[in-house]
Copies of this chain bind each other. A is one copy, B any other.
Amino acid sequence: MANHVKLAKGNADRPARKRATSYDVAELAGVSQSAVSRVFQAGASASKDMRDRVLSAANKLGYRPNAIARGLITQRSNMVAVVISRQTNLYYPEVLVQLTQRFSEHGIRVLLFTLEHERDIDGVIEQVLQYQVDGVITAAILNDAQLDTVENAGIPVIFYNRTLPERLVNSVRCDQEEGERWLVSQLAAAGHKRFAIVSGPDDSSVSMERTQGALQKLRELSIADVLIVSGDYGYASGRAAFSEIMQRMGGVPDAVIAANDVMAIGCVDEARETNYLRVPEDVSIVGFDGVGPARYAAYDLSTVRQPVGRMSEAAVSMLIERIESPGLSPEKRVFSGDRIIGGSALLADSNS
């Protein structure tokens, strides 16, 4: 009871008590400010005696080094910016978690910037630069001018699942094209002839790569007549896309290649619920990503899974290397996706 009253008062009239600084600690411990600073650094020289006195004083005052002030003098904020679109985080929440955790193991914090759409980057660049981050990981494309701006500020950039083919940049990505080519070849080898593709949003370079990869392989196999309808990566758009396919093809396609798993799931549902089709007997459907729901028994998608763990690890280590050695030459790392054979499509290897 007494305790409760105390808390109430404490909260009400304690107006953000001033935080202790290294000078306060120095004074209480009877040493200089530099001494305090040294105690809170890794390889600094300090006698056992001083260390003890300083730490005890710091403890008494609740002192913590001010990372902002430290960043100002050392020219290292120990923060990196992660730029990600809402889309990307919705479909791969894992990416953000992994990046943050891995950076945190290296004493680096993540300043997060989310974009409603990938093209909303403009203002974000300014923000990123103002905050003096040590590096940037972006899952959104920058144009030449934007990239110049960041590079001129001496900040290393890693592109995540994006790349600028015309330019020397660092990037980590999953080989979308290779994955699609595999899916197509498997579908074709299983005897499918009439194909439809459900693409993603126009401003998604990932969707472009996937669609192009699939189309190209289809062309190589002399399957020219392919219907492409577009979606927005969402479930509803997958259902709408399948329905549009049925209508525009005037019948059931042999195989539908969706630009991501969620739309593939939408296609499966629309095929079954609205059109009373069996999957995969009447129509084969494949996706991309290997997200959680792709493995749900009701769908069991054939898909290609992005190796998110290895990709995020690569991105983090590449960025840290470049923060520590600014001169390092650019590198592009491309990971193959994991090929997943599920029950949503008849593939050549289905019985293997």
Contact = CB atoms under 8 A, between A and B. Distances in A.
A109 interface: yes
Copy tally for this chain in the complex stands at: 2
Number of contact residues on A: which range applies?
35 or more
Contacts of A327: 12-13, 15
Given A15-B154, A68-B68, A77-B68, A298 B295 contact: no
Interface stretch (A26-34, A85-93, A182-190, A310-318): A85-93
Contacts of A155: 16
A170 to B, nearest CB: 10
A329 B299 CA distance: 50
A130 B79 CA distance: 12
Interface in A103-117: 104, 109-114, 116
A127 interface: yes
Interface in A65-93: 65-69, 71-72, 77, 79, 82, 86, 89-90, 93
A131 B265 contact: no
Interface stretch (A49-57, A94-102, A221-229): A94-102
A112 B96 contact: yes
Interface in A244-274: 262, 265, 268-269, 272-273
B269 A329 contact: no
A309 interface: no
B104 A151 contact: no
Contact of A296 (B86, B104, B129, B269): B269
Given A11-B168, A17-B154, A297-B273, A110 B109 contact: no
Contacts of A68: 68, 71-72, 77, 131-132
A305 to B, nearest CB: 15
B11 A151 contact: yes
Given A96-B89, A296-B298, A7 B110 contact: no
A152 B72 contact: no
Closest 7 interchain pairs by CB? Answer: A16-B154, A298-B298, A93-B93, A269-B297, A67-B130, A100-B114, A112-B112
